[in-house]
Amino acid sequence: MFNFWDRLSQEERKHLLKQACQIDLTRLKDASREALGQAGSVNDSDADLEPAPWIPLPSGVDSTRLWEEAEGIGEELLNAGKIAAFTVAGGQGTRLGFNGPKGAFPITPVSQKSLFQLFAEKIKAAQMRFEKPIMWFLMTSEINDEATKKFFIDNDNFGLSSSRVRFLRQGMMPAICPTGEIILERPDRISMNPDGHGGFFRAVVDNGVAEEMRNAGIETISYFQVDNPLAPFLEPAFLGFHSMSGSEMSSRAAHKKGPDEKVGVFCKRNGNLSVIEYSDLPDNLARLRSEDGDLVFNAGNLAMHAIDLAFVERIGKNKGIYKLPYHSAKKKVPTVDAQGCQVTPKKPNGIKLETFVFDAIPLAKSPCIVEVCRADAFSPVKNAEGDDSIATCRSDQLRKYARWVKEAGGELTIDETGEPNISFEITPQFADNQDEFTRRWRDISNPCIEDGLILD
């Protein structure tokens, strides 16, 4: 790190030292050993993998009754102010390539509201339904913290009280080279990255947020990612199932689109409920089908979790068995040569070290998985084009609205994929779930949908 120390100015030295002080060397040593394969990582080809059990969507009288019971319990938790919304928004958003925090990306099909605004509106709509206000926590990172806060200030917190919107910064980890040394991006600058969405646990503990939540009476965090505008993060039934099953960490799942979809899958690994990444699931298992033709490993991880605060604190303290493993990703990391001149590598030269939130599941008591209607709940915007892109996300929003309208008895022309031939929008204030939409729709005299309409 200090190869070029002698030739740095006072200002540059100060900057380099500030960065160096952020690095926890013990943690980095453990992380590099794991990432460089010296610590005995899990080998999934040897692991005993089985599909995970999950609570399916209601389909008959008994299961409908169970879902209604869960919904009632979830509503009680929300009425009592025991649930906080939590968005992880500290990532780099490299694939989307948007100039700004990902949450500021305009996503709704007509009014082009940002992801942040949409989530704020969902929270405001929920606040009309439940007795206690809802706190919203957002995890940012050094790379987007300032811009994210500014976006909220410029937009007046989207009408939410500033005392109920809280930002916390996640930690950063240096990029390392395959021999384990820290990479310099410039003679006075270490190449640092956010430490993965698993950094959420530590960020909650280190920033004093756990204490703040406890003082506010919050018991469970509803965790979701910034890039999924459909996330139903305040749906009572899921929160109710979490509580009924005595789970410390529960997750939402939906049927995978197909064997090649790039989502992690819930499974039992050597008997423990876990998520296996798509790239680690052996191909024969990824393609294995049951007699009815369904994929056997079918429960896709949608990155929505209910996590008890006490469990977050246990993982965040990173002691004993309550530690998340580090994952490594090979990347092209801009660096300097021996003379300190900048080099843009043509092939991967560095390793990014990250922890993942779902690696906490096997450490949780009674983890539980609950199905959600995918078309209502999941359409991440990861890429500028192609799969999980701006275009697919926009179409998925329109399909969802069109389905709600048609099932409520409205008239609309749709194509064979369910996408309408016009653009319109249903705001969370109008309805944030299908039942609510149907009720509101039936209250309108002569309801009709036209191009550009915003149902507000």
- Chain residues binding ligand UTP by CB under 6 A are 88-95, 102, 139, 141, 170, 194-197, 199, 225-227, 382
The amino acid present at 262, given as its one-letter code, is K
Least distance (Å) from ligand UTP to the CB of residue 189? 19
Helix (H, G, I), strand (E, B) or coil at 252: strand
223 versus 441: smaller Cβ distance to ligand UTP: 223
Contact 78, 126 (CB under 8 A): yes
Report the chain's terminal Cα–Cα distance, integer Å. 55
Residue nearest to ligand UTP (CB): 91
* Residue 211 host element (H or E): helix 209-215
Nearer to ligand UTP, 148 or 220 (CB): 148
Instruction: Output the smallest distance, CB 175 to ligand UTP, in A.
Output: 13
Task: Choose between 97 and 293: whose C-beta lies nearer to ligand UTP.
Answer: 97
Query: Nearest distance from residue 208's CB to ligand UTP, in Å?
Result: 19
In whole angstroms, how close is the CB of 340 to ligand UTP at the nearest point? 28
Q: What's the full length of the chain, in residues?
A: 456
Q: What span, in angstroms and rounded, lies between the C-alpha atoms of 412 and 106?
A: 25
Beta carbon nearer to ligand UTP, 329 or 412 = 329
CB of 151 to ligand UTP, least distance (A): 14
Residue 430 CB, nearest distance to ligand UTP (Å)? Answer: 26
**Is the Cβ of residue 78 or residue 175 nearer to ligand UTP in the bound state?**
175
Q: Which is nearer to ligand UTP, 201 or 424 (CB)?
A: 201
Residue 94 or 99 with smaller CB distance to ligand UTP:
94
Pairing of strands 335-336, 342-343: antiparallel
**Is the distance from CB of 350 to CB of 231 less than 8 angstroms?**
no
- State the nearest-atom distance from the C-beta of 171 to ligand UTP, in Å: 9
C-alpha distance from residue 378 to each of 69, 300, 303, 397, 400 (Å): 24, 11, 9, 10, 10
Which residues are 305's β-sheet partners?
Answer: 223, 251
Residue in this structure with the two tokens 């929270």, named with its chain if needed: 123
Give the integer Cα–Cα distance in Å for 238 and 430.
Answer: 22
Q: Write the DSSP string, 71-116.
A: HHHHHHHHHTT-EEEEEE--S--TTTT-SS-GGGSB-STTT--BHH
